Amino acid sequence: MKSIVLFSVLILVASVFLYSSYRSQNSVSISSTEAVNTSQESFSTIEKLENPYYSRTDTNKLTLTDAQWKKVLSPDLYAVSREKDTERPFTGKYWEFSGKGTYYCSACGFKLFRSDAKFASSCGWPSFFEQENLSSVVYEIDKAYGMERTEALCGRCEGHLGHLFDDGPKPTGKRYCMNSICLDFVADH
């Protein structure tokens, strides 16, 4: 019995150590044009000088090649948005952020979510219970990693944002589990 308890304690200590080490080594790097003040005083302008396709007013669909996207997105954003990578949980700039404003696609500038639809979730990524409008987010079935999930994509550029789950709060019961790196935030004035 003592050996089982000792073994359990060792496993727990090792898990805590590995998690702490993992969090400190695996933060997603953010380029200077994607940086955000994570206090409640977020910025209201977003510089996307290197991305001529970024617009918070244009709603026309974008159909760019991978080579075109690679030229205008940071390597981290390209990996998540275009290659469907996932940022590490509990490391994104918006997972605990509670500023009031609007979230836009960081690849193309399309309006995705309002802050009043964001809720505190323990999943490690920013979570919303509804999208801004019916065209903000589109969906595909994702069968990666041996499971079937609903992938959430930007309605304008079809960049990967995250996944949609049916375990969110009322009134929708939905949880849009998004990668922070795919979101830009503009504070209300």
Hey, which residues are catalytic here?
A: 177
Beta-strand pair 149-154/111-114: unpaired
Q: Answer whether 0.85 is exceeded by the pTM.
A: no
Count other Cβ atoms within 10 Å, centred on residue 48: 19
Q: What's residue 49's pLDDT?
A: 57
Q: Name the more confident of 23 and 155.
A: 155
pLDDT in tens, 102-124: 999 999 999 999 999 999 998 99
Q: Tell me the H-state helices in the chain.
A: 2-25, 66-72, 75-81
The mean per-residue pLDDT over the stretch 156-168 comes to 97
pLDDT tier for residue 189 given thresholds of 50, 70 and 90 = confident
Query: Where do the domains of the chain lie, and which CATH numbers do they carry?
Result: 2-187 (2.170.150.20)
Average confidence (pLDDT) over 80-101: 95
Span 8-26, mean pLDDT?
36
Q: pLDDT at residue 27 above 50?
A: no
Maximum CA pair distance of the chain? Answer: 66
